[in-house]
């Protein structure tokens, strides 16, 4: 069963769990907070008697929030078509902020994604390519561990259909993210690569950057039409290396790079006159950086300004 609260009055305690769920579904903290606000508005619009009759307020709120997210995901493609440039999920500072922490205390089985992995940028990008129903079924079942019967009540399909949706989503994820080395070794190597990347970028060492980037690496920038960013994905390690070196040269001595945890993984922030102007997230494989995501849209950097 889904998480339950023994007393309807305790329903506000679900806010953290709901925000974490909505962020993973929508890839936007601002949208996730709006979903939670709407969910609670609907909860308190119910009469006290109706609220008291709800056996599991936590499960009820998750159902409402899930349906709101599903509606938003259904219209997301149209919104993305109007978005200027490439769209990247909103980056979050730190490991797992308190309001995005785990949905349950029980340890995840080995065949499930971990809570940290479920907010990695690479994971969110793959989720964004799924259909809305796949995304909801997968996140609620594989990450938040709701039963397929509970997922079915949100998605509006049978439990068997939701099981197939989650299987399809899992297959997409495994295709995009093949079997990886042990987690501890992977995280250690990822941190080393990002640190070496920062050093090479700061010193404008093209040769070092070429050695750190996979030959077929891709870099994607998101400025949202508000801030200059690479208008299209950059393919190839040579093209990426030269672009980044030119970026530092154009920025002048006022640009400062800092190692920060981005979506629970080592990443970089770019500062200008003390303000965060860009956040970089990375994906790695076979001791090379394979993907670089650069978010420069100031609307997506508000959590970094606050932190």
24 and 52 fall within a common domain: yes
User: Is a pLDDT exceeding 60 seen at residue 2?
Assistant: no
198 and 275 fall within a common domain: yes
Question: Does some domain include residue 2?
Answer: no
Range list of H helices, 141-263 = 148-155, 159-176, 183-202, 206-212, 237-251
128 and 203 fall within a common domain: no
User: pLDDT at position 147, please?
Assistant: 94
User: pLDDT at position 114, please?
Assistant: 63
Question: Does some domain include residue 251?
Answer: yes
99 and 27 fall within a common domain: yes
The DSSP line for 12-64 is GGGHHHHHHHHHHHHS-HHHHHHHHHHHHHHHHHS-HHHHHH-S-HHHHHHHH
Say how far apart CA 242 and CA 170 lie, in whole Å: 36
* Pick from 162, 150, 158: nearest CA to 3: 150
Question: Does some domain include residue 45?
Answer: yes
Residues 6+ apart with CB under 8 A from 159: 147, 148, 149, 151, 152
The answer to whether the CB of 200 falls within 8 A of the CB of 208 is: yes
What is the CB-side half-sphere exposure of residue 130 using CA atoms within 13 A?
30
38 and 122 fall within a common domain: yes
201 and 284 fall within a common domain: yes
149 and 226 fall within a common domain: no
161 and 192 fall within a common domain: no
Question: Does some domain include residue 170?
Answer: yes
98 and 113 fall within a common domain: yes
Take residue 51 and report the two structure tokens written for it.
């609220």
Q: Angle formed by the axes of helices 183-202 and 237-251, to 10°?
A: 50
Say how far apart CA 29 and CA 19 lie, in whole Å: 8
Beta strands at 213-222 and 288-295: parallel, antiparallel or unpaired: parallel
38-60, pLDDT tens digit by residue? Answer: 999 999 999 999 999 999 888 89
User: pLDDT at position 274, please?
Assistant: 86
Last residue of a domain, one of 152, 176, 200: 176
Residue 111 belongs to domain spanning: 8-176
The DSSP line for 100-162 is GS-S-SSPPPTTS--TTGGGSHHHHHHHHTS-HHHHHHHIIIIIT---HHHHHHHHTS-HHHH
Question: Does some domain include residue 270?
Answer: yes
Question: Does some domain include residue 97?
Answer: yes
149 and 231 fall within a common domain: no
Question: Does some domain include residue 1?
Answer: no
User: pLDDT at position 3, please?
Assistant: 41
86 and 199 fall within a common domain: no
User: pLDDT at position 95, please?
Assistant: 58
Give the pTM: 0.85
The answer to whether the CB of 34 falls within 8 A of the CB of 19 is: no
102 and 121 fall within a common domain: yes
Last residue of a domain, one of 176, 198, 228: 176
User: pLDDT at position 94, please?
Assistant: 78
19-44, pLDDT tens digit by residue? Answer: 999 999 999 998 999 999 999 999 99
98-148, pLDDT tens digit by residue? Answer: 445 444 434 433 344 566 788 899 999 999 889 999 999 999 999 989 999
CA distances from 150 to 71, 138, 154, 216 (A): 17, 12, 7, 42
User: pLDDT at position 307, please?
Assistant: 56
User: pLDDT at position 282, please?
Assistant: 97
Q: How far apart are the first and last CA of the chain?
A: 36
- If one counts the domains in the chain, the total is 2
221-280, pLDDT tens digit by residue? Answer: 998 877 767 778 999 999 999 999 998 887 667 789 999 999 999 999 999 888 999 999
Identify the CATH number of the domain in which residue 203 sits.
3.10.450.50
267-296, pLDDT tens digit by residue? Answer: 999 998 889 999 999 999 989 999 999 999
CA distances from 180 to 104, 124, 244 (A): 25, 17, 28
165-219, pLDDT tens digit by residue? Answer: 999 999 988 887 665 545 666 788 999 999 999 999 999 999 999 999 999 999 9
Question: Does some domain include residue 3?
Answer: no
Residues 6+ apart with CB under 8 A from 298: 226, 227
Last residue of a domain, one of 176, 194, 220: 176
- Across the chain, mean pLDDT equals 85
Take residue 195 and report the two structure tokens written for it.
């640190």
Confidence at 61, pLDDT banded by 50, 70, 90: very high
């Amino acid at each position: 069963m889904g998480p339950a609260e023994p007393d309807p009055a305790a329903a506000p305690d679900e806010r953290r769990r709901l925000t974490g769920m909505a962020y993973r579904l929508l890839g936007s903290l601002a949208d996730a907070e709006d979903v939670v606000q709407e969910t609670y508005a609907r909860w308190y619009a119910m009469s006290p008697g109706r609220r008291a009759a709800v056996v599991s307020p936590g499960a009820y709120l998750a159902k409402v929030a899930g349906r709101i997210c599903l509606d938003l995901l259904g219209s997301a493609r149209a919104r993305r078509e109007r978005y200027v440039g490439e769209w990247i999920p909103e980056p979050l500072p730190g490991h797992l902020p308190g309001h995005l922490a785990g949905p349950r205390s029980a340890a995840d089985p080995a065949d499930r994604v971990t809570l940290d992995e479920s907010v990695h940028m690479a994971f969110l990008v793959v989720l964004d390519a799924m259909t809305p129903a796949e995304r909801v079924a997968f996140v609620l079942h594989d990450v938040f561990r709701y039963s397929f019967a509970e997922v079915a009540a949100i998605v509006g399909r049978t439990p068997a259909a939701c099981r197939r949706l989650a299987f399809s989503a899992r297959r997409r994820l495994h295709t995009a993210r093949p079997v990886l080395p042990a987690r501890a070794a992977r995280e250690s190597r990822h941190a080393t690569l990002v640190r070496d990347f920062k050093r090479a970028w700061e010193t404008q060492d093209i040769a070092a950057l070429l050695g750190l980037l996979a030959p077929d690496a891709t870099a994607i920038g998101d400025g949202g039409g508000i801030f200059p960013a690479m208008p299209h994905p950059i393919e190839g390690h040579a093209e990426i290396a030269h672009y980044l070196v030119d970026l530092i040269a154009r920025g002048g001595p006022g640009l400062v790079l800092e190692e920060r945890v981005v979506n629970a993984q080592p990443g970089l922030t770019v500062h200008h006159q003390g303000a965060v102007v860009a956040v970089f997230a990375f994906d790695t494989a076979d001791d090379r950086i394979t993907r670089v995501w650069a978010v420069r849209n100031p609307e997506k950097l508000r959590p970094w300004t606050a932190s």
